[in-house]
Amino acid sequence: MNKLMLPLTYILLLLMIQTDDKSSSSYASPAGGNMRLKLIHSQAYALKSTYDQMERIKELVHSDIVRRGTMFSKHHQSTRRKAWEKPRTRTNCSDVSIEMPISSGRDYGTGQYFVEVKVGTPPQKMLLIADTGSELTWMSCKRRNRRRGFRPTRSSTFKTVPCSSRTCKIDFADLFSLARCPTPSTPCSYDYRYSDGSGALGIFARETVTAEITNGKGRATKVEDVVVGCTLTVQGQSFQGADGVLGLAYSNYSFATRASNMFGGTFSYCLVDHLSHKYLSNYLTFGGVGVASHSPLLSHMHYTKLDLATLSPFYAVNVKGISINGALLKIPSLIWAANRGGGTIIDSGTSLTFLTEPAYRPVVGALRWALSKRLERTRLDGGGPLEYCYKYNSTSSRLRFEETWVPRLAFHFSDGARFEPPVKSYVIDAAPGVKCLGFVSAMWPGVSVIGNIMQQNHVWEFNLVQSVLGYAPSTCTSR
């Protein structure tokens, strides 16, 4: 396949950086034991104290479009995929869970969520982008001209993968390993090239990740033999200020499946509002203790089937339709059929929600009709793919914005479950005094994507053993 059309599922940056933020919050998860990673906001790592909200929106839309075009090119062009091995949980870890901090990248000016991860022995703190569309966990390795990054020479558990090995030649082929092998002991290398001109070149290795045990009062445990990429050369703006990606896709080599294999076959996260500051944070959790210990959530949990085969390595859901104020829109059922050129995935690495054209038009048509009766339509400076934007003024009774004006949108799944996001998840703040419909049109045939803004203020639990997705509304700011 053309490396220039590499899946941007790998592109998005898993920033692994040390934080001094001591505040945290978590939620519980309905099953056995688990491991949590705190989802933290990135203000402490911001390149500037303030950012232009409009420029941020335009940048995340651009990144989303590039990402979508590249991530699905891999899925459709890959000539083979390995048979997935169902997670087999370790009995000695079944009553344990681990957690890692996770937060919005709002203060950094990005639309991703960052996870604090401790890699190597002794542990080195990294801040990575949580990406359910990426199979490989990679980070920039520190070189003489870099102030930060992972230092493999300081880790006793860093072990490279030889280029002569079957692992490099066959197993890592889908991870874009290179064929060159000057000597049998030369490390297996990779070269990611993205359609926006960005790229990452490095070597494969296996490493140890350390994480705190949920409710373990400071105790930690290790996830060993994790496949990682040590990126030596980074090109393009897509990686500016980032240390790498935390691979959470459904793959034999992703961190999500490696950690889930140890802790009950599940992982979950709770995404704070995408405009939250760093002190509002939560956790990426591996294991089932999280939701179960937060009893108020249990009565509000909804469950739907995960399709882990048709659009692998992505997490596909079986959408039946979309309703506005309880009435299903006239959208052809073919749009939602993954085996007929359509389908829908849920993706933490994409910010906005993409709908293929036959679904996009009815959805934005219904919403714009309601908003146009109250507000004046406008365009973002410089244009862009956010097609429907409206001016408002919070100090003017005539031009104020009220959520009660907005029809309630819901995703309906084929098994009867329904996901009703809050209004702020699909009518988003794009600039001071401007709100836009947070949908982007995608070409048909193609896959629709439920992005992280649509997922905000909800707990999401991925059960890889039972192929079930659980979700419930939450502030994501308290246990």
Point out the residues that are catalytic: 131, 347
Q: How far apart are alpha carbons 63 and 86 in whole angstroms?
A: 32
Residue owning tokens 């009867």: 416
For the CA atoms of 292, 293, 295, 298, the dihedral, rounded to the nearest 10 degrees, stands at: -20
449 touches 398 (CB < 8 A): no
Contact 467, 313 (CB under 8 A): no
- The span from the CA of 191 to the CA of 277, in Å, is 34
Backbone angles phi, psi at 92, to 5 degrees: -75, -5
Main-chain dihedrals φ then ψ at residue 9, nearest 5 degrees:
-60, -25
Give me the residues paired with residue 235 across strands: 199
14 and 127 Cβ atoms separated by less than 8 Å: yes
* Strand-pair partners of 292: none
Task: Provide the token pair at 89.
Answer: 């949980």
Q: Where are the alpha helices (DSSP H) in 328-451?
A: 357-372
8 Å CB contact between 117 and 128? yes
Distance between CA atoms of 106 and 50, rounded to whole angstroms?
10
Query: Computed from CA positions of residues 375, 378, 381, 382, in that sequence, does the dihedral angle turn out positive or negative?
Result: positive
Which conformational region is residue 440 in: left (phi greater than 0), alpha (psi within -120 to 50 degrees), or beta?
beta
Q: How much of the chain is in helix, strand and coil states, percent to nearest 5?
A: 20, 30, 45
Mapping DSSP onto H, E and C, the string for 43-86 reads HHHCCCCCCCHHHHHHHHHHHHHHHHHHHHHHHHHCCCCCCCCC
Residue entry with tokens 């829109």: 329
Chain mean position to CA 224: 23
Residues near 250 by beta carbon (within 8 Å), at least 6 away in sequence: 84, 256, 257, 308, 312, 313, 314, 315, 464
Q: Identify which of 378, 334, 374 has the alpha carbon closest to the alpha carbon of residue 356.
A: 334
Q: How many residues does the chain have?
A: 479
